[in-house]
Amino acid sequence: MTAERFYVTTPIYYVNDKPHIGHAYTTILADVLARYHRLLGVPTFFLTGTDKHGQKVQRAAEKARMTPQQQADATVVRFQELWRRIAITHDDFIRTTEPRHIQVVQAILQDLYERGEIYRAEYDGWYCVPCERFFMEKDLIEGNCPDCRRPVEKVREANYFFRMSRYQEWLIAYIEQHPRFILPEYRRNETLGFLRKPLQDLCISRPKARLSWGIELPFDREFVCYVWFDALVNYISAVGYRRDPALFARWWPASLHLIGKDILTTHTVYWPTMLKALDLPMPETIFAHGWWVVGQTKMSKSLGNVINPMEMVDRYGPDAFRYFLMAEMVLGQDASFTEEAFARRYNTELANDLGNLLSRWTKMVATYCEGLIPWPAGAEGDEERALREKTVAAARAMREAVAAFRLDQGIGAILAVLREGNRYIEIRKPWELAARGERQTLDGVLYTVGEMLRIVSGLLHPIMPAKMAELRKVLGEEDAPSHFNTLMTWGGLKSGQRIQGGRVLFPRIVAEPKDRTEESGAEPPPAEKPPAGGSQTPAGVRLIEYADFEKVQLRTARILEASPIEKADKLLKLRIRLGSEERTIVAGIARFYRPKELVGKMIVVVANLKPVVLRGVESQGMLLAASAGGTLRLVTIDGDMPDGAPIK
């Protein structure tokens, strides 16, 4: 990747339907890479947009009884709303219906036509509407489209063709000489494989009689331009090709076109040959990522399993969603999306490894240092050095991961630091240092953890900008780091600053009741300190002190209302009263009780559990129940007792 500038693009999305997780993924990935480059001080331009022409959009509009323009305008807003919601920092958003784009497409068409790169001929072949591509009889697989395997339509008509075939040998040589042009390598091989067969000329027109929704050919008004020939041009029209030479010279060639694996041929064969015919330099890298599948199944409207990113964000927040997508997908390969996997990563990595570490640290700084960030101790011990080196190494790993498109590996290095940080606290036991009055060592330990958190918050900022800004506020830091270098050097945390402690950064979540106890309270938050001693019964049960039990506040509660929760067939939402107070709790008891039979029951709840959000509902406590042999019964009170009574 060039060090001087970074121009990154996403595909421009069809506006025939609302955005799904695939669209969100590429755009978040581009955003994260753009944010890292800005942080590295590299001038960055990030382009996204929408593809408004073509048969897909025209057909969707016909179905919705709208004009294609109305259909496009209605859908584009949903993309823009989603990008706002998930904090996408694109520098430009191009729509192919804008004059700045249409003019460039028409100028290109005219130029290529005049230079004999485009010619007219009779066409006889097969057309796939969803892919918007023509195929020869021999290309079909069992009579269907070789790409999507759907039925094709027979077409015979006059059309215009781009002399793509003349660039075949040049393109093969170019790909062979530029190993980073198409990535990952197996996609490069796929394109080279495709180029082993003779390359056909590309049909770049559609007769208006069949498709009116597109850019008119400047030399024949009976035709519109093929949607892909129009769409690919967005990458240069947006940055001023034939309009603003200075802007164009600044950004072209693109550093990175991010695409999904299904649009490899259009980007690695059509687009380079178009650029070659225009005598323009090639983009540096075209990176094809894999697909998100749901569980083991392809996402599809007909299966009804399409993941709506807006729903995910409403439920779990934009940052956790961004984090999951970046951490879970190994760039290039397919990845599986399930809410269970999401909850697992969220609870382990965000709520526990990071969130819990932060709250342990803030509590200790509040208790032992009057809420002021301490000064680092003079001499550094082995443990401190190990944590410092690991943290700085994670910053280096993240910088390399960005260049190598392995964000999952960069994230892995950061998670290892967090786990090390938690272990470090356990080894150094600040509470014992405080008890022994070892002031300077205690200060040094708390500074070390705080400094590690500062670096981690900066490293994760491009992935979770809002949450990391929150974390950085606790540490008395600016919302965002000023430069990546500040994360490669140890010692930036400002001693003497008052920490802004408070809110739990990542409240624990539960996706499905099977992920947690059937009783459906929250899992207990991880222990603040390791258990002292740890004596066990002969059966292996770890015994606790009375003081541990005393931490749990059990109280009687009266169920006032009970109702099901949409799309969560195991959960019920309960409104309960504890004396003068009313609360909502979510319980995984729907398979054992009907809402009606619960109203009026006196139950026992854990009243001092940290709230968790379950299926979008905040659960403010947990009820108790016994479960065995596949059944479950609520714990109730023997005889009369007011609600809200403590249980001891």
Q: Rounded distance, CA 411 to CA 418, Å?
A: 11
Per CB under 6 A, 286 contacts ligand MSP: no
> Which segment (156-164, 256-264, 496-504, 624-632) binds ligand MSP by CB under 6 A?
256-264
Residue 44 CA from chain centroid, whole number: 20
Stretch in the footprint of ligand MSP (CB under 6 A) among 19-27, 188-196, 511-519, 521-529:
19-27
Q: Report the distance separating Cα 283 and Cα 272, nearest Å.
A: 8
Using CA atoms, how far residue 565 sits from 53, 214, 307, 576, 622, in Å, is: 41, 45, 19, 16, 16
Hey, how many other C-beta atoms are within 10 angstroms of the C-beta on 441?
A: 16
Binding to ligand MSP (CB under 6 A) within 534-593 occurs at none
- Would you count residue 292 as binding ligand MSP (CB under 6 A)? yes
Q: How far is the CB of 14 from ligand MSP (least distance, A)?
A: 4
- List Cα–Cα distances, 416 to 53, 151, 390, 452, in angstroms: 47, 50, 8, 12
**Shortest separation between residue 135's beta carbon and ligand MSP, angstroms:** 17
Among 6, 7, 14, 316, binds ligand MSP (CB under 6 A): 14
Task: Decide: is 291 part of the binding site for ligand MSP (CB under 6 A).
Answer: yes
Decide: is 430 part of the binding site for ligand MSP (CB under 6 A). no
Distance between CA atoms of 633 and 513, rounded to whole angstroms? Answer: 16
Out of 6, 7, 8, 26, the only residue in the binding site for ligand MSP (CB under 6 A) is: 26
CA 212/CA 91 separation, integer angstroms = 31
Is 22 a residue that touches ligand MSP (CB under 6 A)?
yes
Pairing of strands 292-294, 44-51: unpaired
Closer to ligand MSP by CB, 11 or 318: give it.
11
Task: Indicate which single residue of 6, 7, 8, 12 sits in contact with ligand MSP (rule: CB under 6 A).
Answer: 12
Among 11-19, 374-382, 441-449, 473-481, which window interacts with ligand MSP (CB under 6 A)?
11-19
Give least dist CB 299 to ligand MSP, A.
5
DSSP state, residue 528? S
- Confirm or reject binding of residue 263 to ligand MSP (CB under 6 A): yes
Q: Are 236 and 251 in contact (CB under 8 A)?
A: no
- Output 104 or 231, the one with its CB closest to ligand MSP: 231
Query: Exposed/middle/buried for 126, CB within 10 Å: 0-12, 13-18, 19+?
Result: buried
Q: How far apart are CA 374 and CA 440, in angstroms?
A: 9
Q: Fill in the per-residue mask, 125 to 144: x = in contact with ligand MSP (CB under 6 A), - = not in contact.
A: --------------------
Q: Which window, 137-145, 254-262, 497-505, 581-589, contacts ligand MSP (CB under 6 A)?
A: 254-262
3-state helix, strand, coil in the chain (%, to 5): 40, 20, 35
- Separation CA 257–CA 80 (nearest Å): 20
The piece of 10-18, 187-195, 207-215, 397-405 that touches ligand MSP (CB under 6 A) is: 10-18
Token pair listed for 46? 């990030």
> How far is the C-alpha of 624 from the C-alpha of 633, rounded, in Å?
9
505 interacts with ligand MSP by CB under 6 A: no
Of the candidate spans 179-187, 226-234, 472-480, 621-629, the one that interacts with ligand MSP by CB under 6 A turns out to be: 226-234
| Neighbour count for residue 17 (Cβ, 10 Å) | 16
| Stretch near ligand MSP under the rule CB under 6 A, chosen from 22-30, 35-43, 177-185, 409-417 | 22-30
Least spacing, CB of residue 51 vs ligand MSP, in Å: 3
Q: Which residue, 257 or 558, is less far from ligand MSP as judged by CB?
A: 257
154 pairs with which residues across the strands? 126
Q: Residue 6 in contact with residue 37, Cβ under 8 Å?
A: yes
Between residue 229 and residue 248, which ones bind ligand MSP under the rule CB under 6 A? 231-232, 234
Q: Which two tokens stand for residue 48?
A: 């996204």
Q: Does 259 bind ligand MSP (CB under 6 A)?
A: yes
Q: How far apart are CA 390 and CA 416, in angstroms?
A: 8
Alpha carbon separation from 375 to 365, 389, 496 (Å, rounded):
12, 19, 7
Q: Which is nearer to ligand MSP, 335 or 499 (CB)?
A: 335
Q: C-beta of 104: minimal distance to ligand MSP in Å? A: 14
Q: Are 104 and 242 in contact (CB under 8 A)?
A: yes
Query: How many residues sit in the footprint of ligand MSP (CB under 6 A)?
Result: 19
Query: Does 57 contact ligand MSP by CB under 6 A?
Result: no
Concatenated DSSP letters for 304-361? T----HHHHHHHH-HHHHHHHHHHHPPTTS-EEE-HHHHHHHIIIIIIIIIIIHHHHH
260 binds ligand MSP (CB under 6 A): yes
Stretch that binds ligand MSP, among 72-80, 227-235, 319-327, 410-418 (CB under 6 A): 227-235
Of the candidates 23, 399, 454, 472, which one interacts with ligand MSP according to CB under 6 A? 23
- Closer to ligand MSP by Cβ: residue 26 or 620: 26
Which of residues 6, 7, 8, 25 is near ligand MSP by CB under 6 A?
25
The minimum distance between CB 129 and ligand MSP, in angstroms, equals 13
Tell me: does residue 59 bind ligand MSP (CB under 6 A): no
CA 329/CA 335 separation, integer angstroms: 5
Amino acid at 155: V
**123 makes contact with ligand MSP (CB under 6 A):** no
Question: In this complex, which beta carbon is closest to ligand MSP, that of residue 73 or of residue 157?
Answer: 73
Smallest distance, ligand MSP to C-beta of residue 465, A: 22
End-to-end CA distance of the chain: 64
Q: Is 31 in the site for ligand MSP (CB under 6 A)?
A: no
Where along the sequence are the contacts to ligand MSP (CB under 6 A)?
A: 11-14, 22-23, 25-26, 51, 231-232, 234, 259-260, 262-263, 291-292, 299
